[in-house]
Amino acid sequence: MLSLDSLLHEFTNTHLVSYTWRGETSYFESPPLLVQLEHAITERPNIGPGGGGFKPTSPCNDNALLIKAAIEHQIRYDLPAVQQLHESHSLSNKLIHWAANVDYDYALAKLTGWREAIHGLNETIVPLRVPCPSCGETWVSTPSEDGSFRIDEALRFRINAESVTCTLCGTTWQGLETFLKAYSTE
């Protein structure tokens, strides 16, 4: 678990991130988490004429918007009005001020949750429509809120983590090659 200072640094400053691909670890600079959150809210691919890459647009990612709203709400909720920074201050400054004025463990827990949520915005999960090498099932049935059942693929490939997980039996294969080996020996 990261310290409160390390978490605040990740939220407000450019920081180093490690990424392992096929057994080789690389390090690169990552923008502050609050900047990543802003980008997730307002940027989408520009596929129009003459465009390529990304351009700022109106909000398009509801999950990112909800995370930002949760952070802003928590800051306002936890601090009395006389302790809050003026609205002209950046969210980074407000977050640092908030963390300095609430319980350490509470701030640590909240920042850790928000960090995971922001990282989750970049996590791409692809369902695989093949039988699980471990339990043999292709489909999993899960209850929905209205009492009916929803049928989904049992296997999920997490692209960023390079892992495949069966949601039915819980078996996880780290690395696509490991999964393919298990699948070919089935």
- Ranges of beta strands (E only) in the chain are 15-21, 24-30, 43-45, 54-56, 125-128, 139-143, 149-153, 155-158, 163-166, 172-174
Confidence of residue 48 (pLDDT cuts 50, 70, 90): very low
Per DSSP, 86 falls in state P
* The pLDDT of residue 141: 87
Q: Can you tell me whether residue 57 is helix, strand or coil?
A: coil
Bigger pLDDT: 117 vs 175: 117
**pLDDT band for position 119 (cuts 50, 70, 90):** confident
Residue type for position 172: T
Per-residue pLDDT for 102 more than 60? Answer: yes
Lowest mean pLDDT among 1-10, 85-94, 130-139, 140-149: 140-149
Distances (CA, A) of 113 to 7, 11, 17, 18, 51: 11, 12, 18, 20, 36
Which range, of 30-44, 52-66, 82-96, averages the lowest pLDDT? 52-66
Report if pTM > 0.75: no
Helix (H) or strand (E) holding 178, with range, is: helix 176-184
SS3 of 132-153: the string is CCCCCCCEEEEECCCCCEEEEE
Q: Are 45 and 53 in contact (CB under 8 A)?
A: yes
Confidence of residue 46 (pLDDT cuts 50, 70, 90): very low
CA distances from 122 to 79, 81, 95, 118, 135 (A): 30, 34, 22, 7, 29
Query: What pLDDT does residue 156 have?
Result: 86
Q: How confident is the model at residue 77 (pLDDT cuts 50, 70, 90)?
A: very high
Q: DSSP per residue over 104-129, as a string?
A: HHHHHHHHHHHHHHHHHHT--EEEE-
For 181, other C-beta atoms within 10 Å of its C-beta total 12
182 compared with 171, residue with greater pLDDT = 171
Q: What is the mean pLDDT of residues 133-159?
A: 84
8 Å CB contact between 137 and 152: no
